[in-house]
Amino acid sequence: MGLKHSSSSSLFFLILLFLLLSSQVSSQACLKTCGQIPIKYPLGTGSGCGDTRFTRYIKCDPDQQTLTLTTHTGCYPITSVDYTKQIIYVTDSSMSTCACTRPSQGFGLDWDAPFSFHDDTVFTLLDCSVDESPVFKPLSNSTGRVSLCDRQSSSICNFLYSNCRAISLINLQESTCCVYVPLDLGPSFEMDLQKLRCSSYSGFYNLGPAQESHPENWNYGIALKYKFNVFDEYPAVCGGCERSNGACGYNTQTSSFVCNCPGGINTTSDCFFLYNSASIVLPWISRAWMMYPMSLVVFWTVMSLP
């Protein structure tokens, strides 16, 4: 009687162990896509995926299948990523466009974020107080008096206030518009509209001469540039990992590089071993993909005990 009880307890323990191990294996896998957006280094979809510097700021919602950028000013959907040019494109629901004009708090990047604003990004402040907004008051620096508004781009304000239906309906004075060109558009950039005494803002990128007079066709959003590291060098080991259908990641304990392979297997190089050697593949397959069948076998064995 005691022997049977001991055997049953051992087998139940084995079932729990198998299920635990299989759960850990599957949960380690880094996603290769998030919605329609492919995920490549340095981006990742969660802890242990991509570059450690990006994990804090970029996340994939597995339920909504949306990739988002998070800063101290809010969460912003990522619409696309150009991995060749190293540019991330985001949208801000509080941004004013030709479709809708709404009040906004502004947009900012954390000072230690691995991003900076791409040169193609243009910010236009809307409905600013002519008397109180600091953007209309030139600042002093070592070279003299510098304005925060780009007077050379005043035509952009004209097109927004005249040709953009959602904005023109408010009947704002063009003098309350400012094409914002702060002295530093680096990671510590902060566009606090309350301090700037402006009601809203608009951001767009890749504005060509042929599109300038048609604000309804502008690419509204924010383009962010990123670097792989200080020297902006793509890690060679990551290239081999991605070519072998793996996802570049890191060890959450040591922050050292790992290549996350199909089935949740982590290696320190690449995933080619899965395809090059059957003698190596089979043990890993049994570990990653055979856990559930083995658990069922053990379960039915327990159930058949007298």
Q: For 232-275, how does the pLDDT look when each residue is reduced to its tens digit (9 = 90+)?
A: 888 889 999 999 999 999 998 888 999 999 887 889 999 888 76
Most confidently modeled of 41-45, 110-114, 299-303? 41-45
Q: What percent of the chain has pLDDT over 90?
A: 35
Please check the confidence at residue 77 and state whether its pLDDT lies above 90: yes
User: How does pLDDT run across 181-195, given as a tens digit for each residue?
Assistant: 765 555 557 788 998
- The phi, psi pair for 224, rounded to 5°, reads -115, 135
What ranges in the chain are assigned the alpha helix state H? 2-27, 52-55, 154-163, 165-168, 193-196, 236-243, 273-276, 278-289, 291-303
Asked if the structure places residue 61 within a domain, the reply is no
Whole-number pLDDT of residue 39: 94
Reference 133, options 193, 179, 191, 185; nearest CA is 193
Please check the confidence at residue 288 and state whether its pLDDT lies above 50: no
Please check the confidence at residue 291 and state whether its pLDDT lies above 50: no
Please check the confidence at residue 140 and state whether its pLDDT lies above 70: no
- The phi, psi pair for 100, rounded to 5°, reads -160, 140
Asked if the structure places residue 166 within a domain, the reply is yes
Q: Where in the sequence is the domain holding 129, given as residue range(s)?
A: 72-226
What integer is the mean pLDDT of 171-188? 75
**Strands 66-71 and 58-61, bridge-based pairing:** antiparallel
Whole-number pLDDT of residue 300: 54
Other C-beta atoms lying within 10 Å of the C-beta of residue 268: 11
What integer is the mean pLDDT of 267-286? 63
Asked if the structure places residue 301 within a domain, the reply is no
Asked if the structure places residue 7 within a domain, the reply is no
Asked if the structure places residue 254 within a domain, the reply is no
Most confidently modeled of 73-77, 101-105, 145-149, 289-293? 73-77
Whole-number pLDDT of residue 136: 83
Whole-number pLDDT of residue 28: 44
- The Cα 106–Cα 219 span in angstroms is 18
Number of domains in the chain: 1
Asked if the structure places residue 190 within a domain, the reply is yes
CA 252 to chain centre: 19
Query: Positive or negative CA dihedral for 185, 188, 189, 195?
Result: negative
Other C-beta atoms lying within 10 Å of the C-beta of residue 26: 14
Asked if the structure places residue 298 within a domain, the reply is no
Cis preceding linkage at 42, omega within 30: yes
Whole-number pLDDT of residue 284: 42
- Model confidence at 22, pLDDT cuts 50, 70, 90, reads very low
Asked if the structure places residue 248 within a domain, the reply is no
Please, what is the average pLDDT of the chain? 79
